[in-house]
Amino acid sequence: MIFKLHKIPDRFIFRVIFALLILWNLKYLFLIVQIPFTMLFVDYLKNNSFYSQVNDIKSTIVNVKDFQDEGKVGFISDKPENSVFDKEFSICDFYIAQYAIVPSILKNDKFENYVIGAYEYAPQKITAPENFMTYKKINNRTYLYKRIKD
């Protein structure tokens, strides 16, 4: 036999707890209302540097006839070769370029016929590496270089 120590019905306790949960979650109501409008009026792909960099590289290499035939592509940066993988932002440029050129393989050197150069600091002062010519300017901070054949 179960004895109730109080005279408050269970239905009332459930309604109070439910009302408190609703009031607690009302502070998130503006987020729920805001999401559809931001998705309609804000183009995140253009504002996202990752997608814009990937799209720039992809649209550039589509026009290069023998780019995919090479299989391997070099990568240079304004950071030394051995420290590209040490810093978070410099490795980001490497992996963005690798993602954009799939199925080709990106190597952190300049021994291939094509090299992608991703610069962070002063791209207007950057010149093509030795024995390379600037084949295409991908965007303000990324270039595609082609080896000059002697």
Give the model confidence (pLDDT) of 108-134 as tens digits. 888 899 999 988 776 567 788 889 999
Token code pair at residue 59: 């649209």
DSSP 109: S
| Same domain? 56 vs 118 | yes
pLDDT in tens, 43-66: 666 667 788 889 999 999 998 888
Q: What global pTM score does this model have?
A: 0.65
| Same domain? 30 vs 77 | no
Please say if the pLDDT value at position 32 is more than 90: no
Confirm if 86 and 108 have CB atoms less than 8 A apart.
Answer: no
Confirm if 116 and 85 have CB atoms less than 8 A apart.
Answer: no
Q: How far apart are CA 53 and CA 51, in angstroms?
A: 5
Domain of 102 in residue numbering reads as: 45-147
**37 part of a folded domain:** yes
| Same domain? 140 vs 68 | yes
**131 part of a folded domain:** yes
**5 part of a folded domain:** no
**52 part of a folded domain:** yes
